[in-house]
Amino acid sequence: MAQLIRRAAALNKSLPAASFAARGLATASTSSITVETSLPFTGHNIDPPSRSVETSPQELLTFFRDMALMRRMEIAADSLYKAKLIRGFCHLYDGQEAVCVGMEAAINRKDCIITAYRDHCIFLGRGGTLLEAFAELMGRKDGCSKGKGGSMHFYKKEGGFYGGHGIVGAQVPLGCGLAFAQKYSKDESVTFAMYGDGAANQGQLFEALNMAALWDLPAILVCENNHYGMGTAEWRAAKSPAYYKRGDYVPGLKVDGMDALAVKQACKFAKEHALKNGPIILEMDTYRYHGHSMSDPGSTYRTRDEISGVRQERDPIERIRKLVLAHDLATEKELKDTEKEVRKEVDEAIAQAKESPMPDPSELFSNVYAKGLGTESFGADRKEVRTVLP
């Protein structure tokens, strides 16, 4: 029963649950609705797209469900971490769901996404399942990286998701490399290289951006500006926190990252631009409710009022809920039912993940190489544990 909404490669969205079909919206579900984004886009060296976004009831309901699922997954991960079932690092994305969901609505699975360590929801968006996510977090065999990666190293290559990277900023040159390969292979697809406001100051980002601009690579750099690089506010880390302008000769767009439709519009615009003209920067103005990671309470460098203020005024799920209700696409109760369903899905996935065993000890030595050539490898006591890599 573990159904996560899966997007087929051809962006064919199916209606999520029976409750919506009951309203007889099946025929009307793809009808067009035009919504204005919360704010106009601000462009740097480029004319921004219109703030009128075409959407549909189906899309809005899917946004709601997907974001609710992601929110629920992250909250559940918080509890699992406190229960010590998740160890090490755990960086949660709740509050930022609109970025990932809006992006998916604008692209397909041939496009690539690469991000840093706050990657659980992006993994789901690319086709990853809840079971794979929870099992990986708990270090079990059914995890997407078979338990060997952990929270920061989720991958789904067939879905165009290249991780999941622990070194701040490294994913940006890697993303430009993906774009390079897409252009080299003439695939007519683009790469979204995502990074935070903290990583925005990394030198290698500018090195890669320079080459992307020189060679007209279809690279879209997406700064998820949640205003805090761990405990350091953006104004303390960056002389210029206008990250969409930091590309200088590379055009940029500032986007309200809490508005899934604005994100969708920006990503669609960016993809068209990148395919024709090379790199572009998108700055998503977003917010994370949790601290930087599970070891950070998140309240020593910002006030609780600020956090609750954003939750009241700008929460991405609430925005969609209001839109759905305003356009009469579902009732309050139906939306609440969706949230209950989603919670049930998450709980079931967790139960299943808990049943998954830990990797076999022989997995210590697997995948060191793609082609091991029969070389020897050793455990801590090489006289005790010695193996041959296949």
Partner 1 sequence: MHRAAPRQRQEHNGEQAVPHRYTDGRVSTQRGGCSNSGSITEEGMHKSSPLNPTLKRSSPNGSTLSRFLFWELYREADMLGVLRREVACQGAHAWGLEQGLRVIASRALSSSAKAMTVRDALNSALDEEMSADPKVFVMGEEVGEYQGAYKITKGLLDKYGPERVLDAPITEAGFAGIGVGAAYYGLRPVIEFMTFNFSMQAIDHIINSAAKSNYMSSGQISVPIVFRGPDGAAAGVGAQHSQCYAAWFGACPGLKVLTPYSSEDARGLLKAAIRDPDPVVFLENELLYGESFPVSAEVLDSSFCLPIGKAKIEREGKDVTITAFSKMVGYALQAGDILAKEGISAEVINLRSIRPLDRAAINASVRKTNRLVTVEEGFPQHGVGAEICASVLEDSFEYLDAAVERISGADVPMPYAANLERMAVPQVEDIVRAAKRTCYRSTALAATA
CA distance between the termini of the chain: 37
Burial class (CB in 10 A: 0-12, 13-18, 19+), 100: buried
Please say which residue, 114 or 320, places its beta carbon nearer to partner 1.
114
Reduced to 3 states, what is the DSSP secondary structure of residue 40?
coil
DSSP structural state of residue 362: G
State which H helix or E strand residue 312 sits in: helix 304-314
Contact pick of 11, 214, 351, 385 for partner 1 (by CB under 8 A): 214
Q: If binding is defined by CB under 8 A, does position 128 make contact with partner 1?
A: no
Contact pick of 87, 88, 110, 184 for partner 1 (by CB under 8 A): 184
Contact pick of 49, 57, 149, 241 for partner 1 (by CB under 8 A): 149
For β-strands 280-285 and 191-196, DSSP reports them as unpaired
Contact pick of 28, 82, 188, 207 for partner 1 (by CB under 8 A): 207
42: its two tokens? 């601000």
The residues in 20-79 that bind partner 1, with binding defined as CB under 8 A, are: 45-46
CA atoms within 13 A on the CB side of 336: 3
Kindly state the smallest distance separating residue 177's Cβ from partner 1, in Å: 2
How many C-beta neighbours within 10 Å does residue 368 have? 11
Q: If binding is defined by CB under 8 A, does position 360 make contact with partner 1?
A: no
- # of chain residues touching partner 1 (CB under 8 A): 58
Contact characters 258-277, partner 1, x per CB under 8 A: -------------------x
Please say which residue, 155 or 228, places its beta carbon nearer to partner 1.
155
What whole-number distance in Å separates Cα of residue 205 and Cα of residue 323?
A: 37
**Cβ–Cβ < 8 Å for 382, 32:** no
Only segment of 20-28, 73-81, 145-153, 345-353 that touches partner 1 (CB under 8 A)? 145-153
Task: List, in sequence order, every beta strand (DSSP E) within 141-270.
Answer: 191-196, 219-225, 228-229, 232-233, 252-256
Which of 135, 153, 155 shows the shortest CA–CA distance to 143? 135
Only segment of 18-26, 123-131, 287-295, 365-373 that touches partner 1 (CB under 8 A)? 365-373
Only segment of 8-16, 125-133, 178-186, 340-348 that touches partner 1 (CB under 8 A)? 178-186
Binding residues for partner 1 (CB under 8 A): 45-46, 112, 114, 145-149, 153, 155-157, 162-167, 170, 172-182, 184-185, 203-204, 206-208, 210-211, 214-216, 251, 277, 366-371, 373-377, 382-383
